[in-house]
Amino acid sequence: MNLFFLPIDHPLVNLNYSYAKNRDTALSVYKSMEKMINKSIILMGLVLMTSLMACAQKQDKEVANKTTSKMGWNKLTKEEEDVIVRKGTEYPGTGKLLNNTAKGTYTCKRCNASLYRSESKFESECGWPSFDDEIKGAVLRIPDADGSRTEIVCANCKAHLGHVFFGEGFTAKSTRNCVNSISMNFVPDK
């Protein structure tokens, strides 16, 4: 297959003669270049196919009750939007989940994704529900712009939850996820 689409006698191809002593050497150079281009095209095709196949891999199944699209998110009140969307903070000591001691799962108010288990909740007397561990992969940590604190958000819908603090010694894990009650729902164990 001739990828140059030019006959060997074409003037542009004949430029190779300046590097060759005779027509046979020029033809050999021409054939070598053609083989190199063929191999390059095959290699690029393989790379493209591999990358397309990697993109087509099936993702892990989502938790059944978690809503992944904005259209399916729960409708929020103005107060909930102030905290969840505009990254506000509810007044300390006012959250309905602050003193909850029932066994169950704390979920995101906006998308229903599971965030924390009741076993990781502890009393820190800070005015907001505190957890020393989140459900694996459920919460993202994002440094605040000023660098002094670390924000926590729902990994699924990016709803603002609160902030995480380290090294305070409240628990063996020495981690305190300080979460706004208004950012969560509670689903009791059955």
Give tens-digit pLDDT for 143-155.
988 889 999 999 9
Interatomic CA distance for residues 15 and 26, integer angstroms: 9
Give tens-digit pLDDT for 107-160.
999 999 999 999 999 999 999 999 999 999 999 999 988 889 999 999 999 999
Q: How far are the Cα atoms of 1, 53, 56, 65, 87 from residue 81, in angstroms, in the given order?
A: 64, 40, 35, 21, 8
What pLDDT, on a 0 to 100 scale, did the predictor assign at position 43? 80
What pLDDT, on a 0 to 100 scale, did the predictor assign at position 60? 39
Give the burial class of 39: count Cβ atoms within 10 A of its Cβ; 0-12 exposed, 13-18 middle, 19 or more buried. Answer: exposed
> Are 58 and 45 in contact, with CB atoms under 8 Å apart?
no
Identified catalytic residue from 108, 111, 154, 178: 178
Question: Phi and psi (nearest 5°) for 184?
Answer: -130, 160
pLDDT at 88 over 90: yes
Give the burial class of 184: count Cβ atoms within 10 A of its Cβ; 0-12 exposed, 13-18 middle, 19 or more buried. Answer: buried
What pLDDT, on a 0 to 100 scale, did the predictor assign at position 61? 36
Give tens-digit pLDDT for 29-87.
777 778 888 888 888 877 777 666 655 544 433 344 666 667 789 999 999 999 999 99
Is residue 111 among the annotated active site residues? no
- The matching CATH number, chosen from 3.90.79.10, 3.40.140.10, 3.40.630.30, 2.170.150.20, for 70-188 is 2.170.150.20
